[in-house]
Amino acid sequence: MREVRVDLPGNGYDILIGTGIEEAAVSFFTDADFSSRVLVISDTNVGKVYGEKAAELLRRAGKQPSLHLVPAGENSKSMEEAEHVYTKAISAGLDRKSAIVALGGGVVGDLAGFIAATYMRGVPFVQMPTSLLAQVDSSVGGKVAVNHRLGKNLIGAFYQPKRVFIDLSCLATLPKRELSTGLGEIVKYGVISDEAFFSYLETHCDSILAVQPEPMEHLVVRSCEIKAEVVTQDEKEAGLRAILNFGHTMGHAIEKETHYVRYNHGEAVAVGMMGAAYLSRELGLVGDAEVTRLRELLLRFSLPIQAEGCTEDGMMAAIFHDKKTIDGNVKWILMEGIGRVRAVTDMPENVVRKCMRMIISD
């Protein structure tokens, strides 16, 4: 078992990564100062496979778990679905020291974290991510939110979990598309922070796609380490943490334009990373070689580099509704090379539109 520490003053926690982590989880819940009633939030896909296993784990720790399943998919990140979960929490008798457990992918983690941050002004929150995307990204760092019809993650909070339990054995059953979407965020970490990690992805592509244990452990651990380093320095995105948004400005616009059903998050981010790479090249920050390396790695991981069902004007409108846009100024995270990025706010609109056209499929 590997541990990664997110070392925040007053809010620090450990990420436990490995296989067979049930005993560590039982010990944690046995010793934690939580009430006996616990609400496990999962979705209709994950809950069928892992829901009862999680409930039994909690019963072994002396807890009284309730399981609530939300419909699988991005549409469950809504105020309407949150209302159903609040009702379940109240009906189950959760009090201010009752823990909420997120069991599933990024949608479940974001929704459950939002519920934990707001129910009775905040209750303990534990992450048990089952998808690769959630394990390397959304379960770490404390960003929790639901969507609004005008934009993604517009209603939310910074709310850190008490512990993150990452069971690598969950990856063995992931569908190929779910594996690829997680790899989209993993590629991002190499671009923003670690060229050696990016090179590792290039040279171990086949073993990663075969979900071999050793490379998968390295991918998850290194991704969590990079995100923990960034979050420790900038918990609430006052500066450095913005680098984690590489590919997300156009990526979120693609998700909104396609109504959150055509592309999953990692796929949209992959296309968004290509858009950011083209912007970087237009400004002379990188050359063709860096753009080609990124494009080829994304293609090897079966990720899209263009988006269907989007329009230039629609994407522009979506970007200006994005939560990262301040006073009409968009903070673009652009490449300075593989492993280095910078923030740019004075991007000419004609350049943005040119690069958007390059990632929109006819």
Active site residues: 121, 143, 185, 227, 237, 241, 245, 248, 252, 265
| Residue written as token pair 């990188």 | 286
**Of the candidates 344, 313, 319, 359, which has an alpha carbon nearest to the alpha carbon of residue 152?**
319
| Residue written as token pair 């090897």 | 300
| Residue written as token pair 């008798």 | 93
Paired strand residues for 101: 40, 126
HEC string for the chain = CEEEEECCCCCCEEEEEECCCHHHHHHHHHHCCCCCEEEEEEECCHHHHHHHHHHHHHHHCCCEEEEEEECCCHHHCCHHHHHHHHHHHHHCCCCCCCCEEEEECHHHHHHHHHHHHHHHHCCCEEEEECCHHHHHHHCCCCEEEEEECCEEEEEEEECCCCEEEEEHHHHHHCCHHHHHHHHHHHHHHHHHHCHHHHHHHHHCHHHHHCCCHHHHHHHHHHHHHHHHHHHHHCCCCCCHHHHHHCCHHHHHHHHHHCCCCCCCHHHHHHHHHHHHHHHHHHCCCCCHHHHHHHHHHHHHCCCCCCECCCCHHHHHHHHHCCCCCECCECCEEEEEECCEEEEECCCCHHHHHHHHHHHECC
**Of the candidates 237, 262, 253, which has an alpha carbon nearest to the alpha carbon of residue 343?**
237
Residue 242: count other Cβ atoms within 10 Å of its Cβ: 18
Q: Is there a contact between 2 and 164 (Cβ–Cβ < 8 Å)?
A: no
